[in-house]
Structures are given as C-alpha cells and as structure tokens.
C-alpha cells in the first residue's frame, strides 16, 4: 500500500472512531474531552498529520483536501452532538425542577394576639379616641413613685396590703431604698405629671397608662403578674361628674352595649373622695345570677378624685387644679367580656384556649 493510501486509511479510521465516540458522549464535559483528544494540539489528528511530511510533493494537495474533509466532518459531528446533549441537559433540568402543582400546600400556622394583649389594645384605644395620651412607666419602680407620692406613707396599712415584691439588691437614691416591682400602674400618674411640669407645661393633662403589675399573690383570682390600665385627667374644675361621664362612655364602649354603672363610696389613699365602680351584671342583665352573687352588680374598677396630697407631691397647685383617676384590672375586664371563668387560663398558654380566645392577626 502506498504512503498516500495508508494515510488516507488512517484518516478515515480516525474519522469513523471519532464520530462513534462523539455520538456516545454522555454529557457536554465528556464531549469536550473528546474534542481535545481528536482535534487538540496534541490530539489524534495532529498525530496522523505528522505523516504528511513523508509524502511525495505531488501527493500533498490530494491529502490536504482529504484532511479538510475529515476536519469538517468532525466539526459538524461535534456540533450535532453538542446540540443533542444541550437539549438533553435542558430536558433533565426541567424534569428535576418540575413543580407538582397538585401537591397540597404546606400550612404556615398563623399566630394570634393573646386575649390579654387584645384587651390592653381595646381599652387603650377607647381612651386614645377620647383624647387621652398613652403613657408607660417602668415595671421596676422606687417607693416614692409606687407609694409615697401616691399618699401611701411608710406606716400606711395599704403599703402592707400591696403584697410587694421588693428587690433587695437593687437600691434607689441616696438613702438606698430597695427598688420594687410596681404593684399598680398608678405611679405613671406621678411620672406623667412630673414630666409635664419638667417640660415647662401645666394641666390640662389626660393620660391612659396600660401596663404590667406585680403582686406576691397566687390563687384562682390572683396572679403574681397581671395587667392594669390607669386613666386620669387633671385640669381646672374637674369634677366627679366628669369621672362618671368618662366611665359611662368607656364601659359601654368596651362591653359594646349600654351598661348601667353605679359608684359606691370606698377608700383609696390616692383619691378623695373615692369610689368603687360597679356595672349592671353583663351575664344576667341585673336580674341576679351566680356570677354577680345575686346582687345584679359586678365590681369593675377603683376610682376617685385625685387627692390634693398627690397633686402637691408633684408640684401641681391643688387649689388651682383638680383631677379624677381610675385604675382597672385588664384580665378581669377580659374575663367579664368574654365569659372566661378562671384567671389562670390566661397564663397557662394552653393552645386550645389561645386558639379559641386569641384574635387572629
Ligand atoms: N391603684 C389601684 C390598685 O391597683 C387601683 C386604683 C384605684 C387606681 C383607684 C386609681 C384609683 O387611679 O383612683 O388597686
């Protein structure tokens, strides 16, 4: 066999092998390796072409044409294989990423507002709508704000009755009085009045103060942590009539019906005169039932005219200004409105209760 024929045969063998290999490439990476193996600088084709030098000069154009045909056949085959593999890869990706739209969705359980939080929000917004400013105070208080300034002197029996949590390690002021967890939201009265005066203002001042309070007490109707809303207004000529008007409006708004109210004389150190406020029983409409113990009335809050000593303690002239104040227990209000029988339900965090009573967001 002549050198020329031998070379031609090697070229057509190479072409046959290459086309078969390209066809069988599993993926684009494998195909690329084959491209290098056959067409690369050190590839099989280069190797065969080394034989061209040995040919007679007359044979060279002949083999040149043959080589070009081989190269072109390889390039075309490569392109085809590449296109086929690309289609295959895309189909595989689409299959892998396929979304089954008939699958049931994953539920995201939604939370709800705790009934106490909902109660705080409802109560606060009723007063905010009446023009009262919302204020908050610290839960860790000193004795001045929690007691003294509210006309509860150190010897006062009310001080003992408050079942206070003292924080012996935390002390306030020069005399190192122990700090305490506030037993009511009334100290916000003192803080709000002081802030007004410190900023150079003077009454009128109307405030609603929602917040957490603490007492060392635990049974069916008491929790060591609970919530109160404190409401007060100071201005010239504020009278008990204003107190009663605000109470009537607020209690009817909260219970979403016209409720009867009654003020019963009572005693609080920080108000004079003081009154406990009853509403006509919301369960029996005043006829008398188990919950109102047959009386037709349910006690809901404590109130009164701010004691002159309290106004004077913050530097408001009690001859010029007067005020009313009241404070209520949020859990109690929510229990009465929603018919919840046991205070402890609020704090046990049983999801069955929270799902039923919680307000969806
Ligand atoms: N601070 C009282 C308590 O926690 C509630 C209270 C009663 C607040 C009468 C008042 C009020 O503002 O006038 O028991």
Task: With CA atoms as reference, report the closest residue to 86 among 7, 27, 132, 126.
Answer: 27
Centre of ligand 1 from the C-alpha of residue 40, in Å: 93
pLDDT at 218: 84
Centre of ligand 1 from the C-alpha of residue 48, in Å: 105
- Range list of β-strands (E), 133-183: 133-134, 140-141, 166-172, 177-181
Centre of ligand 1 from the C-alpha of residue 230, in Å: 7
Res. 105 pLDDT band, cuts 50 70 90: confident
Centre of ligand 1 from the C-alpha of residue 304, in Å: 9
Centre of ligand 1 from the C-alpha of residue 256, in Å: 24
CB 151 within 8 Å of CB 310: yes
Residue 158 has pLDDT above 80, yes or no: no
Angstrom distance (rounded) from CA 358 to CA 113: 5
Res. 358 pLDDT band, cuts 50 70 90: confident
For residue 226 and ligand 1, the question of a CB distance below 6 A is answered with: no
Res. 207 pLDDT band, cuts 50 70 90: very high
Question: Max alpha carbon distance in the chain (Å)?
Answer: 133
Nearest protein CA to atom 12 of ligand 1, as residue:
326
Instruction: Give how far Cα 36 sits from Cα of 11, 46, 175, Å.
Output: 17, 11, 90
Q: What is the mean pLDDT of residues 245-271?
A: 97
For residue 307 and ligand 1, the question of a CB distance below 6 A is answered with: no
Centre of ligand 1 from the C-alpha of residue 7, in Å: 111
**Boundaries of every domain in the chain:** 3-94, 113-360
Percent with pLDDT over 90 in the chain: 71
Assign domain 113-360 one CATH number from 3.30.930.10, 3.40.1390.10, 3.40.50.1100, 3.30.2040.10: 3.30.930.10
pLDDT at 129: 97
Q: Which of 145, 310, 326, 330 to mutate to test the pocket of ligand 1 (most atoms within 8 A of CB)?
A: 326
Residue 172 has pLDDT above 80, yes or no: no
pTM of the model: 0.73
pLDDT at 361: 62
Residue 44 has pLDDT above 70, yes or no: yes
pLDDT at 117: 95
For residue 22 and ligand 1, the question of a CB distance below 6 A is answered with: no
Nearest protein CA to atom 3 of ligand 1, as residue:
184
pLDDT at 276: 98
Residue 152 has pLDDT above 80, yes or no: yes
Residue 175 has pLDDT above 80, yes or no: no
Q: What is the mean pLDDT of residues 225-245?
A: 98
């Amino acid at each position: 066999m002549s050198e020329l024929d031998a070379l031609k045969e090697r070229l057509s063998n190479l072409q046959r092998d290459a086309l078969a290999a390209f066809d069988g490439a599993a993926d684009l990476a494998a195909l690329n390796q084959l491209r290098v193996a056959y067409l690369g600088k050190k590839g099989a084709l280069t190797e065969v072409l080394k034989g061209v030098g040995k040919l007679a000069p007359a044979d060279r154009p002949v083999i040149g044409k043959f080589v070009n045909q081989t190269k072109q056949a390889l390039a075309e085959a490569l392109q085809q294989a590449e296109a086929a593999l690309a289609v295959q890869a895309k189909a595989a990706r689409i299959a892998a990423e396929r979304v089954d739209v008939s699958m049931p969705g994953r539920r995201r359980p939604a939370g709800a507002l705790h009934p106490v939080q909902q109660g705080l929000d409802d109560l606060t917004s009723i007063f905010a709508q009446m023009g009262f400013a919302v204020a908050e105070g610290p839960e860790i208080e000193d004795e001045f704000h929690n007691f003294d300034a509210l006309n509860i002197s150190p010897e006062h029996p009310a001080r003992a009755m408050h079942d206070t949590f003292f924080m012996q390690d935390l002390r306030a002021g020069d005399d190192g009085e122990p700090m305490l967890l506030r037993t009511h939201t009334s100290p916000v009265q003192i803080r709000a009045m002081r802030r007004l005066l410190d900023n150079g203002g003077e009454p009128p001042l109307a405030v609603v103060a929602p917040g957490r309070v603490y007492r060392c007490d635990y049974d069916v109707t008491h929790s060591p942590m609970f919530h109160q809303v404190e409401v007060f207004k100071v201005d010239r000529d504020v009278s008990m009539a204003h107190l009663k008007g605000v109470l009537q409006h607020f209690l009817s708004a909260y219970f979403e019906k016209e409720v009867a109210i009654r003020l019963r004389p009572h005693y609080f150190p920080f108000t004079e005169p003081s009154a406990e406020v009853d509403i006509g029983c919301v369960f029996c409409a005043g006829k008398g039932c188990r919950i109102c113990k047959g009386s037709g009335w349910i006690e809901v809050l404590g109130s009164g005219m701010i004691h002159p000593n309290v106004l004077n303690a913050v530097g408001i002239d009690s001859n010029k200004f007067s005020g009313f104040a009241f404070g209520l227990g949020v859990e109690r209000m929510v229990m009465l409105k929603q018919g919840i029988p046991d205070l402890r339900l609020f704090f046990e965090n049983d999801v069955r209760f929270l799902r039923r009573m919680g307000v969806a967001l």
